[in-house]
Each structure stands twice: as C-alpha cells, then as structure tokens.
Structure 1
Amino acid sequence: MAFHSFGLFEVLLTSGTSTNSKNSLKTFLLQLECHFTWTLLKQDVDLDELEETIYDQIEFLIKSNIQNYNLLSYVCHLKNSNEEALRNLQKAEEEIKNNYPDEIARRSLVTWGNYAWIYYHMERYEEAETYIRKVQNSCKKLPSTAEWKIQLPEIYAEQGWALIKFGRKYYERAKSCFESALNIEPNNPDFHAGYAIAMYRLEDFSQRQCEDVNPSIEPLKRAVELNPNDTFIMALTALKLQDLKQVNEGEKYIEAAMQKTPDLPYFLRYAAKFYRRKGDVDKALEILKKALAVTPRSCFLHHQLGLCYRSKLWQLKRTTRYPPQEQVEALIQRAIFHFKTVIDQKTKFFSAHTDLANMYAEGKRYEEAEETFQKAFQINILFYDDKQEFYYHYGNFQRFHMKSESEAIRNYLEGVKIEEDSYGRNKCIKALKKLLEQRIQRGLEDATDFATLGLVHSLNGEKHEAIECYEKAIALCPDSEEYLTALCELRLSISS
C-alpha cells in the first residue's frame, strides 16, 4: 500500500471536483489496497454463484466475516448495486468493531478503500476523499518502510482469500499473497489455511497434467495442527492422503472431523467426495443428502450427487451382465437432474457441462448431448486442459454414440495439437492411437490414418514406429510434402 506526495494530495482534495481533480483522485484511489485494485475481473467468475457462496459462508462458517462482507460489497458493485455494496461495508465495520475493538483503524484499511472506490463510482467525490483521508491518516501511524509502503499480513491474506474465490486463474497469485503474510506472521493459523488451500487447488490441476508432485500435504497437515477445529482443512487433508494411497490415514481425519462438525455443509461435501472415491457410494449419497438439506442450492453438492449416480450406473453395468433397464434409466435420470441443476445455476462450470452431455448420450438423448457439448466449448474461461478434455469427451461421443470414426479422429487430434502436457491430452493420444490401430487391423486405413498414427508415435518418443507409419503413408500418397517432411525430420533426429 503506497501513498506518495501527501502535500500534493492535500491540495488535490481541496481543489473541487473538476475533471483534473477527478483524475487526480483516481490516481490516489489506485494506490489503495482493496478489492478494486486487486485486478479481480468479473468475466472470470459467475457473480451470482459467488454471491451465494459468500452468503453461505457468512451463515455457516464460524469465523469473523470482515473479509466476506468486504468481498460481497465488491461483488454487489460488479452487479451494479452500489447501495447494497455500501450496506455490506457497514456490516464489515460492525464486524471490525466487535472483533478488533483495539485495532479499528488498522483492520479497516481494506473496508475504507472499498468505500472510497464505491463513492467514486457513485460520483460522491467528497465522501470518496473522506475515506482516502482515513486510510492516509491510518497509514501515517503504522510502522512503515520507505515511501509509505505499508506491509500488513492481514491485507495480504484478505487479498489471498479474494483471489481464491475468483477461481483457478488466480490461485498462483493467492499462494504468493499467503506466502507474504506468513513471512510476517509464520504461525498464523488463518494464513496457513489459506496457503494450504491455494497449494491444494494448484496441485489439483497439476495432477491433471500428470505431475507426480504433492507439495500441499505438509502445508495441509500444518494448518490442521495449528487449528484442529478447521474441519474444512481436515477434509482436504484426507482427500490429499487418499491421492497418496494413504486411505486409512485419510479416513481418520474424516471421522475426527465428523465428530466435530457433523452438520457443516462445507465439511460434508468433501467427506462425501472422499467416500465416493473410496467406492462407498451409498455412504457418500447419505452425506450429500444431509448437506443438501442445509444448502439446497449448492452447485458443488448437486455435482457430487450427479457423480455418485454416475458411479452407481458404471458399477451396475460392470457387475451385471444384463442390468435391468429400469434401474439403468433411473440412475441416468437422477444424474442428469443433478448435473442440469448445476449448469442452470453455474453457467461456467465446465466439467458439469461435459458430465451432463455424456449422461445425455448414455440416455440416447443425442440432440441434447450435442447442444450441451457446444455450450461447454463456448464457455469463455476455458484453460488449455479444459479444451483437451472437451476434445477427448466429444471425440468419444462421436465415436461410440454417433458412430463417426472420422469425427472422433478429428477431435482427438485437435486435443493432441494443443501442445501442453495434461491428463486430457494424454487421453486423446491414447484414444487416437487405439482407434487408428483398430482401423488398420480392419483394413480400413488410408494415408491419413498412417500419418496421424505416425504423429502419435512421434509425440510418444517412438521414432522408429513413427518412421514406419510415415513410410506407409507415403506409399499410399507419394506426392504429400507434409508426410515427406515429417519423415525426413524423424530420420535426421535419429541420425544426429
């Protein structure tokens, strides 16, 4: 948090509200540490879903809600409801007075910064100036470094929590914020919890990219050690231990947490996920229904319920040679209901879209499957691995349900062409290789099939097999410059 040239600041704030003074006011606003200066973009999040999440946390998480009300005020502003934003800042102030009566100025810096910005957007410039002054006066009294650079761990942490709530794009920045907070207060339980969650979330996506790294387990255990009553962190620790094949140790965390907060939806949803992944789907369903009774609109819970019914469907098909059609239909319909509930509320939840599309396909509702796949691909916040996952699932849809091997090959290949390693890309490579080999075995191959298989072998580092495939492609299509170039490059790479 930096303020420069306070003498100039005093002059600007007394110079009226001309265009120049408004611009100068904006200059000082941009130096405030608050949600308006943390680059939290509304296009990266579903605002309605985020608003509901914050309300649920205010109701169910037993902790100070200063951060929640501050973030809620920013969300209200993004939804063009500045009066509601101001009401939430008043609630944040009440929380500060109740929880930190001896540190009101220090704990109010983010709240006051948000006030200043909201009044500025409402063109109530004198009130905006008042809150800038309040921040300025508080900063003068705080220990500081050169150029009035204020480094407060609670502000780093509040920024970290806001970044986590704005989604995957922000997790790396969130991790850095909590690291900065911990550098100042290394044993703070809240900062450790935030750091552990950021690490866990980042790692969740690393695992999709097949990286065999698990650095979050120690931060998670440390966070539990510092606050053994945080059952949300206990559940994440259990899931991470499950990832590490330490299921029994993980279940001890779940059972201990269940004793402490048997009705807390934020714990129950992860406990259910633990049991579903363990294979105890009925227990997972029981827990999810209990949590859903408390938070009936929770997208997370509905998605988990859909995954449970999908698991029961696969289990039924795997263990029964001729599964009763009515049971199959019932499970498909239940899964569809919950997945559809999710995407109706959370329009940017990518995996719920592909889960729903796949379930429509299982139910032979192909037009709805196609429509849902297209909606999934049109989500504007997709990462490269989301797109690779899309091409894998859509390729399977074309192959197994639409019976179009050419479309399947085209989609798998699109996933492979995104040259970033991920779990989804590896699945595309394997599916593509298997399909092409089957076509060749059936005598259906053409030059393109051999060339594509050559590309797959090349990507896997299987250069000799790749050369053989390109040679066969050239035998069928001797004038192809593309195939000849690929073959020459492979031969050179082996000889060099």
Structure 2
Amino acid sequence: MLQAIPAIFCTISNNSLESSLRQLECHFTWSLLQQDVDLNDLEETINDQTEFLIKSNIANYNLLSYVCHLNNSNEEALRNLQKAEEVAQKHHPDEIARSLVTWGNYAWIYYHMERYEEAKTYVSKVENSCKKLSSTAQWKIELPEIYAEQGWALLKFGRKYYERAKNCFENALKNEPNNPEFNAGYAITMYRLESFFYTEREDLNLSLKPLQRAVELNPKDTFIMALLALKLQDFKRVDEGERYIEEAMQQTPDIPYVLRYASKFYRRKGELEKALEILKKAIAVTPKSAFLHHQLGLCYRAKLFQLKKSTRYPPREQVQELIRLSIFHFKTVIDQKPKFFSAYIDLANMYAQEKRYEEAEETFQKACQINILFRDDKQEFYYNYGRFQHFHMKSESEAMRYYIEGLKMEKSSYFFHKCRSALKKLVEQRIQGGLGVAKDFGTLGLIHNLSGEKCEAIECYEKAIALSPDNEEYLSALCELRLSISS
C-alpha cells in the first residue's frame, strides 16, 4: 500500500483542527512512544549523527524536534524545525516532498503550544502542497521520501520498531529501487533485525545482499561499508571484510561511527591492541559515547581472558588492572545510558570476577529492573545470573532455577541454547556423581521435552516418577508426552 497524505477539504476550524492534524504524516502520527526509548540518549545520538553523518540532516532535525517536544521543550523543537527548513532550502529547493514532515511537525507543535492560527497555517501548507504534487482525484500521492523518513525515525526508537522500519524502507524502494539513501536504510534495518530477532540459520544472511547493494550504490557511505565488513566476518570471509574496513577508515579516518565498528571488527578478529588504538581515537572525538565505552570494556575483558588462557599463573597486577579498566568503562556506560542492558550484565560479571559479590548482585538486580527489556534480554539475564549463582555463590539449586526460567522462554534464541547447555551439563554431573534425585531427572526430562526430544524426555520422567511416584507434575508431563507420540 502506498504512503498517502490525504488532502483536507474543509476550512479548518478550531474544532476540526485536531482531526486534520491526525491526517498528517509526521512524527506525531507515527506512534513513536516515549516509554520505549531513553530520550536523553536519543537526543545525544541524533546530535552526533547530525555532526558526523551529514546525509540525513533534514530527518535528524525533524526527529530532534519531536524529541524536544517530548522533553517539554517546544521552543527548542521549533528551532530544530527551522534548521530542517534551512537544509531543505539549501540542498533541495525544488523538492516540496522533503518539507512535508517538517511542516506537519510545525503544525503539531504549534497546536500543543495553543498557537492555533499558526498550526492551521501549516496544515493548509501541507494540503496545498499535496494538491500540487497529486495526480489523482483522491488527492493521494506516492511519497517514498516520507516512507524513508518514517523508517529512519522508527530505527532510532529501537528494536520494538524494526519490523515497521523494514516495511517503510521496502515501500520507499518500490518507488525508487535505486535510491542510495533508501537502500542504506533498508540494509541497516535488516542488519539490526538479524542481530536481534532472526535466529534461524536461513535468516542469518538476509542483510548481506542489501548491504552489498547499498555500498555498490554509494561507495562513499563508509558507515554501511563497516557494517558489510562485520557481516562478511560473520561468514568467515575475514580478508574480504578487512578490505572494506580499511577502505572505510581510509576514506573517513575521523568519524566515530565508522571507527567503532572497525574496532569491533578487530576485537572479534583477536587483534585487541589494534581495536583499542582505534577506540581511543574515536573516543577522543565523542568522549560521552556509551557504545565506545562499552567496546573498550569488552576489549579489556577480552585481554583479561586472553591473558588467563595463555598464562597458567598470570601476573596479579595485570589481571587487576584489566578488571579495573573493564569495570571503569562498563560503569561509565550505565552512568551515561541507564537502560543499556548488556553493560549491566557485563559489569555484574566483572564484579564477580573480582569477588565483589554484593556489587555484582546489586548490578544484576538493576539489569532485570530495566523497563524496556525484550524476551531475549530476560533470557540473557537468567543465563548469566544462573552462572553467577552456580560458580560464585556455589548454589546449584538457584542456578538450575534461573536456567529453567531461561528455557521456558523463546526456544530459538542464542541464550535458550546457552541455558539448555549449562543446565543439562549441571544436571548430568549431579546424576553421574550419584547425587541425582527425582527433581534432577524431572529437570532433564524438561530439557529434552523443550528441545523436541520426546523419547529421551519420557525416559527421564519415568526415572523421576520411580523416585517420586506421586509427583503430579512428572505424571502429567509423562502422560502428555505419551499421548503426543501415540496421536
């Protein structure tokens, strides 16, 4: 279905103004909910991108105006819309479509400021522009620019919105399949969807061709080039990926958005000193970047694991310094970005490494209290907290409890398999060590059942029932399994 802006036929009265506003295509009508995002972090991200990634400045200023409104700063919102207009007039003076979202945002902000006449002016401006652009009697027009701008806004509002962003960019590309900006947006969206939502093997290369296409259409887009390098690395095409990374850094040696992915590439390759060198260069440009601090923490943690693996008795001073640096950077991340879930988990695990168990426990609890967690985040929490209980608190029963909680959630995710593996190993060790009780056989039955291994599950539940004949949970599970096999 094509994006459309309906014309507003009647003279706008104060009573009908809100109804007219709801027909506009802009940030105020795209269901971008404040509770789904950290507004301060988003504002900082947009400001950085406006400075370093110039290509979407109209969209960035428009989105920034909406963020300012959500932060109760309508005057600042108007100033950002003025900047969007200035960019449009300078770079796209004859493209009315690029200003429609800006004018829609103007109308909404003036409405919220109770400056109704100015709001009506901008509603009428959108209406008149639609009439000029439209070629149909229904006053509906194809606007790939608006699809794309909506897609960028949805991307920045986080994971909950990625599928909608994908649909927006797909619709934009129907009208302009060779548009470099639209292809870039689609490629980024597919890359992020893969990272968070697509877990089946056949889904894992869905972003490769879009990334290659985007680089082909715009060889100067070094941000996309860096993402393509990481995707090639995923497919073990490391040398090919490295050529793209080096080309990106050569073209734009000072853009932190490129450097951060370059550092990630070299960290994953095991070249930790090179990754650190790149990160330090990037953080000198954007010292408040939570992403860069997180990457620094991950690099120092990787150096710690590398040291422990290569040396039987690593120097205590070196170990302590690497832990200290990791903790410093992970703590900096959550101070700057209080909803950065992975950083809490990483920080808690580093506290545990240093036997600072109270701080580890407190950090784990803060992680699970973040209000915008996804199912796989919760699963990641259960896995890591289970390990903390197992290896640091020495509580096998608590570890099992949290691994089981992780197993009860999404079954195709990375941390489902991690929970399954950890729990299965723990239970089998207890059984082989002669410590197995009915609960252990019941847990092993649950593991097999959730993994689709019905015959093995039946065998385990039978052993559990032999040890605990009246357990209704095991009897019920066994009955259901037998019925499912016979039916």
TM range (shorter): over 0.9
| 2:14 is the counterpart of 1:3 | no
**1:341 counterpart residue number:** 332
Q: 1:109-145 CA distances to partner (integer Å, 9 max, x unpaired)?
A: 1000000000111111111111101111111111244
Q: Is the 8 A contact 1:3 1:28 kept in 2?
A: no
Mapped partners of 1:416, 1:210: distance in 2: 20
| Residue 464 (structure 1) shift | 2.8
1:463 positional shift: 2.6
1:47 alignment partner in structure 2: 39
How far apart, CA to CA, are the structure 1 residues paired with 2:118 and 2:280?
48
8 Å contact from structure 1 (residues 189, 226) kept in 2: yes
Aligned to 1:90: 82
Q: Secondary structure of 1:289's match? A: helix
> What is the RMSD computed on CA atoms of the aligned residues?
1.4
Q: Are residue 400 (structure 1) and residue 391 (structure 2) matched?
A: yes
Residue 441 of structure 2 corresponds to residue 438 of structure 1 = no
Give the match's secondary structure for 2:6. Answer: coil
Distance in 2, Cα, partners of 1:444 & 1:144:
78
Residue by residue over 1:334-390, the C-alpha shift from the partner in whole angstroms, topping out at 9 and shown as x without a partner, is 111111111111111111111111111111111111111111111111111111111
Once the two structures are TM-superposed, the CA of residue 459 in structure 1 deviates from its matched residue by 1.9
Aligned to 2:19: 27
List aligned pairs for 1:53-452, cutoff 5 A: 53-103=45-95, 105-145=96-136, 147-206=138-197, 208=199, 213-452=204-443
8 A contact 1:196–1:219 mirrored in 2: yes
Deviation at 1:460, TM superposition (A): 2.3
Distance 1:346 1:146, change over 3 A: farther
The answer (yes or no) to whether the contact 2:260–2:282 under 8 Å persists in 1 is yes
Find the aligned partners of 2:326 and 2:196 in 1 and give their Cα distance: 25
Cα pair 1:64 1:99 within 8 Å, conserved: no
CA shift digits 1:256-277 (9 cap, x unpaired): 1121111111100000000000
Distance 1:376 1:305 in 2: 20
**Using a 3 Å threshold, how does the CA distance of structure 1 residues 63 and 481 change in structure 2: closer, same or farther?**
closer
On the 8 A contact 1:210/1:423 being kept in 2, the answer is no
How many angstroms apart in 1 are the aligned matches of 2:431 and 2:418? 20
Contact 2:259 2:278 survives alignment (8 Å): yes
SS at match of 2:138: helix
**Secondary structure, counterpart of 1:108 in structure 2:** helix
Question: Any conservation in 2 of the 1:209–1:423 contact (CA below 8 Å)?
Answer: no
- CA gap 1:109/1:327 in 2 versus in 1, 3 angstroms: same
Superimposed CA distance per residue, residues 284-313 of structure 1 (whole angstroms, 9 cap, x where no aligned partner) = 000000000000000110010011011011
Distance 1:144 1:415, change over 3 A: farther
Distance in 1 separating the partners of 2:269 and 2:261:
12
Alpha-carbon distance between aligned partners in 2 of 1:143 and 1:491, rounded to the nearest angstrom? 64
How far, CA to CA, are the matches of 2:40 and 2:470 in structure 1?
A: 57
Q: Quick one: structure 1 residues 210 and 326, their matched pair in 2 at CA, closer, same or farther if it must change by over 3 Å? A: farther
Separation (CA, whole Å) in 2 of partners of 1:162 and 1:461:
40
Range 55-64 or range 68-77, more displaced = 55-64
* Alpha-carbon distance, 1:419 to partner: 4.2
> Against the structure 1 CA distance between its residues 406 and 144, is the aligned structure 2 distance closer, same or farther, given a 3 Å change threshold?
farther
Partners in 1 of 2:52 and 2:160 — Cα distance?
26
The two structures have a TM-score, normalised by structure 2, of: 0.97
Contact 1:303 1:339 in 2 (8 A): yes
Does the CA-based 8 Å contact 1:164-1:170 persist in structure 2? yes
* Secondary structure of residue in 2 paired with 1:356: helix
Residues 64, 95 of structure 1: 8 Å contact kept: no
The answer to whether the 8 A contact 2:7-2:131 is kept is no
The offset of 1:64, in angstroms, is: 5.0
The Cα offsets for residues 166-199 of structure 1, whole Å up to 9 and x where unpaired, read as: 1111111111111111111111100100010001
Is residue 341–residue 370 contact of structure 2 (8 Å, CA) maintained in 1? yes
Deviation, 1:207, is 5.2
Change (3 A) 1:108 1:4: closer
Q: Percent of pairs identical after alignment?
A: 75
Q: SS state of the match for residue 147, structure 1? A: coil
After superposition, the C-alpha distances for 1:438-472 in whole angstroms (9 at most, x for unaligned) are 11122222211110111112222333322222122
Cα deviation for residue 107 of structure 1 reads: 2.1
Does the aligned pair in 1 maintain the 2:81–2:102 contact within 8 Å? yes
Q: What is the match of residue 464 of structure 2?
A: 473
- Cα distance in 2, alignment partners of residues 284 and 169 from structure 1: 31
CA distance in 1, matches of 2:201, 2:428: 25
- Corresponding residue SS for 1:364: coil
3-state SS of paired residue (1:52): helix
- Give the unaligned 5+ runs of structure 1: none
Query: Can you list the C-alpha shifts for 1:223-248, whole angstroms capped at 9, x where unaligned?
Result: 00110000000000000000011111
Moved more, 461-470 or 182-191: 461-470
- Distance in 1 separating the partners of 2:21 and 2:8: 14
Name the count of aligned residue pairs: 484
Contact 2:64 2:80 in 1 (8 A): yes
- Structure 1 residues 439, 59: CA separation in 2 closer, same or farther (over 3 Å shift)? same
> Distance between the aligned counterparts of 2:292 and 2:466, measured in 1?
56
Q: Deviations over 1:372-412 (max 9, x none)?
A: 11111111111111111110000000000111111000000
**How far apart in 2 are the matches of 1:300 and 1:64?**
21
SS at match of 1:348: coil
1:206 Cα shift? Answer: 3.7
Rounded Cα–Cα distance in structure 2 between residues aligned with 1:367 and 1:99:
56
d(CA) in 2 for partners of 1:70, 1:363 = 46
Paired position in structure 2 for 1:490: 481
Aligned residue identity for 1:239: L
Which letter does structure 2 place at the counterpart of 1:483? Answer: Y
Query: What secondary structure does 1:149 align onto?
Result: coil
**Does the CA-based 8 Å contact 1:144-1:151 persist in structure 2?**
no
Task: Supply the AA of the counterpart residue of 1:101.
Answer: P
Structure 2 unmatched runs, 5+: none
